[in-house]
Structure 1
């Protein structure tokens, strides 16, 4: 008998239900994934189409910026003062060099590089953008270019580049006026980024650092161009798709007179000091020399640390523009201005006389303030006080006027503030007052301080440019201009400074101008200009660098050179219709009339007697 077998019945309904649920879940997953895929495709192909197209083109198309040629600089007669010269340089792209120190050690076996050069390159790498080229060596010779080209395969990321560099054909003659261009450093980068102008310098390595080059940087730089190149996956150029030429910088013409500038430098050779000459008819600067000077071409190609430190630490301070940054006691050159103030305020009249026994005392005070002429000038009035430069007369005038009255009158002549000249390196000098001393030193003002100010000494300091600018206002009988270098842009035919005229100084009695100017005319023709074929006006000054005790006589032979007196002079010509005004400051040379006077005569002769020895009309 066959044993009973257990019969299992399949539940088809349950299986069908399970299959259905699994199928639905699978289809949901599939459709969900398809939805995600379609969503991504929609995002890529439609929503982000432009973005990814741009990215693709950026990988395929390379934009190469092209640097514009820098504008040229000319003097007032069209003589070229700053030009661009072709050069070869060795450039490195840091991001393509694996081991920079090792590469530099190998490179110096082929191209001459000193240890100082390598130190400078290493220092320049700090803060430098790795994708922007860095100059390793400038001004390669043809032999050096050939030597490197043969070995270039050994130095990936290093290449020889050709271009134009600034060149100053007159070397140190115009440094403090023109300034110079130099490599863009980290501070320059930060400024350009802050002003949103970095793109303008994408292909430029240099920027104006000082002087005219810095002040008119935007005018001289120009607008960059670019090339659009199609490249392969290795970055090699396949073809040029588009080219846009750069717009070169504009040429500028200055008011400087090269011949007069050369004469000024010649007169200052071997001396420390400054000469500034201005055309009083429009404020144009005819000459501005600061001595000693230095060669700006060294900065264009990157000066070494050793050479720069030598300039920086020099006792003669050649890096300082003495014409606009040197602050000197104006000494007796301000006596005509003080006399004008006394006449205008009726503190004195043309007939007012003062007795000069060789000294002056504050009433009730024993101290004696000495005149430069130890035995005195006797009786002097305002005219003879200017001609003879009588200290006693101006001690008395300052005492009666007060320092605040002096400061208020002298301010409109430009003392105590920058002139607004179109270079950035300028100091304001000091026009002292009671409030100034309290703010500066937290000390009261003493009457003795006023007496020193009365002869342009004490706290009063001014730059040679300020002194020349004030003298121009005096020569113009109150008509004032902002001194400037720019004559015109692109063309030499027009003057582009129509708005540089300031409100004039108007006196209650215009005849006071004539009284002061006539005294300056006599001072000139009584001494240095007595045989000149033209009329001139002049006032000299001698500024003490340190105070001499009351009963001590100054002797230049017994003091160190840097403590000897400074010599100053202001002068203009022709007297009837001034066409040139100048100031001269010579450091530590002694007496103003003896040392600065001949310089003024030589400068005015150079300008006034060019036409076959005949005076300029």
Structure 2
């Protein structure tokens, strides 16, 4: 019986097992406690600084403060570009747990169209600096803001931010002169100063906005804020105020710019007016225009495609990039070249039978008056716009001297100081033709250049600038759009201004001016109708530029041509003749003769600048009704 009890229960063995298990448990607890103590010591002591910083970063964050963009005024203090308050939707990707789910919720809440949704997704994934907010959309309405506020707990990393947004009160008439701002793209982000543009989402894209970006933008500031676990700002701990951009005062006159746009009356063309003595651009109109406000927040695809596909090219700045044959408007400049080179004198005549022929060439280069003007001297050649005189002069000068003298007036060059995107157009030469077509220069091409046709191309700004130089009697003043940056005037002497044109006989300027005055006030002047009732002395020159070349025996008939194949109408002028205050260049595409369809526009511009408003309005009404 005893042996059976021992087999069933062994107290000594159980006690031994218990002691071993207890010892093992104590050992495991001791080791684990030691590990936990060591880990706590490591976290609390060794890595104290790192986790303290992380904790502080979760509680305190640095936010950029974008600067207020400088305002733009015209010469009389009229506001041309302002900043209006708006609400933008911002997203910080690093604070968003599920980007796709967040975007889906935002699309649902904002009720976006398909195009807006596509742009929305692109912007959300655009390259951005770490923890910098990305601009998803601008100009939220009250309903959208309310829906976002109600669902804020579901949108970590998403904020509605109040900012100032660029706005152009006269967008259509000022679009080409001012340019516009737009969202900073990925390529621009790579080269911009990250400190200066922190928190900034817009940058000057074209025109004045782009050229004076550094002055208009300002300097970004910073603020240190305390936030709760959901990212809501609790209080501001400190701030470095942003430096606002500088205000810009332009040389443009809004009323004159508006008049130029209205005179074009929806037709394709350009009017440029400037002050000869200072180079201040008073009007830089290109028609048709477009609403530049669409580009600030991002134009939708359909609207942009409509602008691009419009045959009238509203996005194209004709004033500085339009290339046109100058036609007869360049005859006063060629006459000056002939005098300077000793090829002609003011009184040396030619006889015009209605055409010109090169030596040993049967082709006839015809005058616009087919039976000719008879005896023609320099002044009369300008007044009646005689082609034969300038065929002869161009042939005697040759393309090399002709090119050199015309480049002295700025043709074939960029002439302005701060006109972003200005084209140099084309002043042809032997070298240019050899490089372009691998062909020699032919004498007949010199004759075409002599009447402002052939390869010669000018911009309206170039023509106005050359007219101002002529009005200044050869003194070169570089055209400019900015008058002051804050209270600092733009210097009168600008870099890279062309050399003045000097003549051996200063009386020649007066002889050229007399010819130009006869264009308007003379009995034979091509634009004598516009001189009726003129209250000041004015010099000008009309031009008619062919869109395509006619054969030797062909006659131009506008009624038989499509509208876009008809001649361009041009006119250039300055006034008053004895003390020029304004120089104007007008180009109306496919309108016909310059004396008929462009001269009265130049007259309206000079009237508006030189006369009292009541008088200029009366003259304008009469001009538009065909009474003058």
Task: Give the TM-score normalised by the residue count of structure 1.
Answer: 0.87
Match of 1:255 among 251, 255, 280: 251
CA contact (8 A) 1:344 1:512 kept: no
1:602 paired residue number? 604
Q: Distance in 1 between matches of 2:108 and 2:48?
A: 52
- Gap change, CA 1:50 and 1:321, over 3 Å in 2: farther
Residues 417-432 of structure 1: pairs in structure 2 closer than 5 A: 417-432=413-428
CA contact (8 A) 2:123 2:136 kept: no
Q: Distance in 1 between matches of 2:48 and 2:478?
A: 58
Q: Distance in 2 between matches of 1:153 and 1:274?
A: 55
CA deviation map 1:384-433 (0-9, x unaligned): 00000001100010011100100111112111111133022111011111
Match of 2:326 among 330, 333, 337: 330
- Gap change, CA 1:505 and 1:136, over 3 Å in 2: same
Match of 2:356 among 329, 353, 360: 360
CA deviation map 1:242-273 (0-9, x unaligned): 21111111111111111101100100121000
Query: Alpha-carbon deviation of 1:559?
Result: 1.7
1:92 aligns with 2:94: no
CA deviation map 1:289-330 (0-9, x unaligned): 000110111111111122112112211111111000111111
CA contact (8 A) 1:72 1:250 kept: yes
Q: Which has the higher mean CA deviation after the structures are superposed, 274-283 or 375-384?
A: 375-384
1:288 aligns with 2:284: yes
- Gap change, CA 1:245 and 1:75, over 3 Å in 2: same
Residues 137-536 of structure 1: pairs in structure 2 closer than 5 A: 137-192=137-192, 197-230=193-226, 237=233, 239-491=235-487, 495-500=489-494, 502-526=498-522, 527=528, 528-536=530-538
CA contact (8 A) 1:525 1:531 kept: no
Q: Distance in 2 between matches of 1:440 and 1:176?
A: 30
Q: Distance in 2 between matches of 1:556 and 1:140?
A: 52
Q: Distance in 1 between matches of 2:55 and 2:453?
A: 72
Q: Distance in 1 between matches of 2:235 and 2:125?
A: 35
Task: Give the TM-score normalised by the residue count of structure 2.
Answer: 0.86
- Gap change, CA 1:510 and 1:131, over 3 Å in 2: same
Match of 1:566 among 565, 568, 574: 568
Q: Distance in 2 between matches of 1:333 and 1:608?
A: 23
Question: The residue matched to 1:408 in structure 2 has which SS?
Answer: helix
- Gap change, CA 1:614 and 1:275, over 3 Å in 2: closer
Q: Distance in 2 between matches of 1:429 and 1:416?
A: 5
Aligned residue pair count: 566
Q: Distance in 2 between matches of 1:56 and 1:418?
A: 58
Q: Distance in 1 between matches of 2:125 and 2:325?
A: 43
Q: Distance in 1 between matches of 2:73 and 2:358?
A: 55
CA contact (8 A) 2:520 2:539 kept: yes
1:589 paired residue number? 591
Question: The residue matched to 2:271 in structure 1 has which SS?
Answer: strand
Q: Distance in 2 between matches of 1:100 and 1:371?
A: 73
Q: Distance in 2 between matches of 1:537 and 1:96?
A: 68
Query: Alpha-carbon deviation of 1:613?
Result: 2.8
Query: Alpha-carbon deviation of 1:199?
Result: 1.7
Q: Distance in 2 between matches of 1:486 and 1:250?
A: 12
- Gap change, CA 1:49 and 1:464, over 3 Å in 2: farther
Question: The residue matched to 2:132 in structure 1 has which SS?
Answer: coil
Query: Alpha-carbon deviation of 1:189?
Result: 1.2
Q: Which has the higher mean CA deviation after the structures are superposed, 95-104 or 58-67?
A: 95-104
Q: Which has the higher mean CA deviation after the structures are superposed, 405-414 or 53-62?
A: 53-62
CA deviation map 1:38-70 (0-9, x unaligned): xxx9xx99xx99999988876664221101111
1:545 aligns with 2:532: no
Question: The residue matched to 1:145 in structure 2 has which SS?
Answer: helix
Query: Alpha-carbon deviation of 1:154?
Result: 3.1
Q: Distance in 2 between matches of 1:156 and 1:51?
A: 25
CA contact (8 A) 2:464 2:583 kept: yes
Question: The residue matched to 1:365 in structure 2 has which SS?
Answer: coil
In structure 1, list runs of 5 or more residues that go unmatched.
1-36
Q: CA RMSD in A?
A: 2.4
CA contact (8 A) 1:321 1:425 kept: no
2:115 paired residue number? 116
CA contact (8 A) 1:253 1:486 kept: yes
Q: Distance in 2 between matches of 1:190 and 1:274?
A: 37
Q: Which has the higher mean CA deviation after the structures are superposed, 542-551 or 414-423?
A: 414-423
Query: Alpha-carbon deviation of 1:219?
Result: 0.5
CA contact (8 A) 2:274 2:583 kept: yes
Q: Which has the higher mean CA deviation after the structures are superposed, 501-510 or 254-263?
A: 501-510
- Gap change, CA 1:338 and 1:49, over 3 Å in 2: farther
CA contact (8 A) 2:88 2:137 kept: yes
Query: Alpha-carbon deviation of 1:78?
Result: 0.6
Query: Alpha-carbon deviation of 1:240?
Result: 3.1
- Gap change, CA 1:361 and 1:560, over 3 Å in 2: same
Q: Distance in 1 between matches of 2:233 and 2:616?
A: 67
CA deviation map 1:423-474 (0-9, x unaligned): 2211101111111111222111011110100001111101100000000000
Q: Which has the higher mean CA deviation after the structures are superposed, 155-164 or 225-234?
A: 225-234
Q: Distance in 2 between matches of 1:386 and 1:504?
A: 23
- Gap change, CA 1:336 and 1:54, over 3 Å in 2: farther
Question: The residue matched to 1:148 in structure 2 has which SS?
Answer: helix
Question: The residue matched to 1:110 in structure 2 has which SS?
Answer: helix
Q: Distance in 2 between matches of 1:346 and 1:456?
A: 21
Residues 13-52 of structure 1: pairs in structure 2 closer than 5 A: none
Question: The residue matched to 1:613 in structure 2 has which SS?
Answer: helix
Q: Distance in 2 between matches of 1:102 and 1:61?
A: 27
1:5 paired residue number? none
Question: The residue matched to 1:276 in structure 2 has which SS?
Answer: strand
